[in-house]
């Protein structure tokens, strides 16, 4: 299944979605991962994007842009996500999950290894009933052949991953064949027909 992600970058100044949803569907996109926010700021386009995705019959998930540099800060971020999900999504985990977007360099201030930080976010939300909670990061942050800031070996086998690697092959799935490498983000340019770039990725069965 092909997916894209969207945020306030694909909305106008009033938070209205600018995504050409029918064109995405015509191109084969079946789902969307929507930014819910970062820190304590709800993403300006979140509500509009969710409503539009539902209206157009697309599956959706959400992602939170992380800034935590230790486990307690990650728990605080998880609590913020829970509060928003309860307020705007009736407390229900989206079909395509909740994703912890670990890419900000500030996450590495206290420790180059942020595995415990990511684990704290996932574990907190799992513990209060959200079944599908995963980690987004680049191949460089996840792979032993890269910077390896996040150690998959030290996380539970059931944790799903969304890996960004702009390549013609998903190398992380080869490196971790027994782990849940769920989504592979392989391009940041979907179509010349769209007036904006969206990331394109594939969700495995």
Beta strands in 23-128 (DSSP E): 29-38, 41-42, 59-65, 98-101
Helix runs in the chain, H state only:
21-26, 46-55, 71-88, 115-127, 139-142, 171-175
Please report where in the chains the tokens 């938070």 appear, as a residue.
Answer: 15
Q: What is the CATH number of the domain that holds 161?
A: 3.20.20.80
Domain count, the chain: 1
Residue 41 sits in which domain range?
2-203
- What pTM value is reported for the model? 0.91
CB–CB of 67/108 below 8 Å?
no
Per-residue pLDDT of the chain (205 residues; tens, 9 = 90+): 888 889 888 778 877 877 888 888 888 889 999 999 999 999 999 999 999 999 999 999 999 999 999 999 999 999 999 999 999 999 999 999 999 999 999 999 766 789 999 999 999 999 999 999 999 999 999 999 999 999 999 999 999 999 999 888 899 999 999 999 999 988 765 544 444 444 556 665 5
């Amino acid at each position: 299944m092909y997916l894209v992600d969207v945020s306030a970058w694909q909305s106008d100044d009033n938070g209205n979605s600018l995504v050409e949803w029918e064109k995405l569907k015509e191109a084969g996109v079946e789902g969307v991962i929507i930014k819910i926010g970062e820190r304590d700021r709800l993403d300006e386009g979140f509500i509009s994007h969710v409503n539009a995705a539902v209206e157009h019959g697309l599956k959706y998930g959400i992602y939170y842009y992380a800034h935590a540099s230790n486990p307690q800060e990650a728990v605080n971020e998880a609590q913020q996500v829970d509060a928003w999900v309860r307020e705007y999504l009736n407390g229900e985990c989206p079909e395509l999950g909740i994703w912890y977007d670990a890419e900000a360099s500030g996450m590495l201030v206290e420790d180059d290894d942020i595995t415990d930080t990511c684990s704290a976010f996932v574990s907190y939300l799992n513990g209060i009933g959200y079944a599908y909670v995963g980690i987004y990061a680049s191949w460089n942050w996840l792979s032993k052949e890269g910077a390896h800031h996040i150690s998959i070996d030290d996380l539970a086998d059931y944790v799903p991953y969304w890996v960004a690697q702009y390549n013609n092959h998903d190398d992380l799935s080869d490196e971790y064949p027994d782990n849940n490498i769920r989504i592979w983000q392989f391009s940041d340019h979907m179509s010349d027909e769209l007036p904006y770039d969206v990331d394109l990725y594939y969700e495995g069965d």
